[in-house]
Amino acid sequence: MAARPATADDLDAVVDTVALAFAHDPVWEVALARPDGALDHIPAFWRFFVDGAMRHGTVWVSGEADAVSVWLPDGEPEMSEDQAEALRRHLDASLPASRVADLLTLWSRFEEHRALRPPHAYLNLLATHPRAAGRGLGMAHLAADLERWDAQGMPTYLESSNPANNARYARHGYVEAGRFPTVIDQSPVTLMWRAVGG
């Protein structure tokens, strides 16, 4: 299954795949939880990150968004200032103030660790739609992405929010480069670095 650059027509499908794939993620399920159990705010949350990367042409899709990846070129922020302000308004309208504060602290931890790395392409999100899970599509999609970055001579970096995925990343040449805890429940986020060629 060949990966291709996402277009504006793919945006809804990409967001759907990301939202479903991260619905039970150890970090993001907790960070985005609402006291009333509602989930309607979550797709809009992920849309900001997907849309933010779309402007760089670094969102990739396999099949009908069966697997998707959201990358950022070296040094680029996750979204524009206008998008970041709109995301903050969305969070303020969707979550209790204490949960928004926790989320902002968590983001700062991601950003602080990312800023310490040498030049790299940043894998912000890698997601497989539940309908395609268990068939190796996500890792095949990642392998194709890494071939493109290798061809450009660019190392890559990611933060693994699910320890169950760490061994999968290691098989593609990633090595652990540190960890930090989340804010609410101290779940581990693993920093993973891949040199060119793995």
pLDDT tens digits for 71-110?
999 999 999 999 999 999 999 999 999 999 999 999 999 9
pLDDT tens digits for 132-161?
998 999 999 999 999 999 999 999 999 999
Q: What angle do CA 33, 160, 131 make, to 5 degrees?
A: 70
Structural domain boundaries in the chain: 3-194
Burial bucket for residue 194 (CB in 10 Å: 0-12, 13-18, 19+): buried
Q: Which CATH number fits domain 3-194: 1.10.10.10, 3.10.129.10, 3.40.630.30, 3.40.640.10?
A: 3.40.630.30
State yes or no: pLDDT of 7 exceeds 70. Answer: yes
State yes or no: pLDDT of 60 exceeds 90. Answer: yes
User: How high is the pLDDT of residue 67?
Assistant: 98
Provide the pLDDT confidence category of residue 2 given band limits of 50, 70 and 90: confident
How does DSSP assign 78-137, residue by residue?
Answer: SS-HHHHHHHHHHHHHHS-HHHHHHHHHHHHHHHHHHHTSPS-EEEEEEEE-GGGTTSSH
How confident is the prediction for the chain on average, in pLDDT?
97
Amino acid, single-letter form, for residue 56:
H
pLDDT tens digits for 31-51?
999 999 999 999 999 999 999
State yes or no: pLDDT of 120 exceeds 70. Answer: yes
State yes or no: pLDDT of 175 exceeds 90. Answer: yes
State yes or no: pLDDT of 1 exceeds 70. Answer: no
The predicted model gives 4-32 an average pLDDT of: 97
Q: What pairs with residue 191 in β-bridges?
A: 159, 178
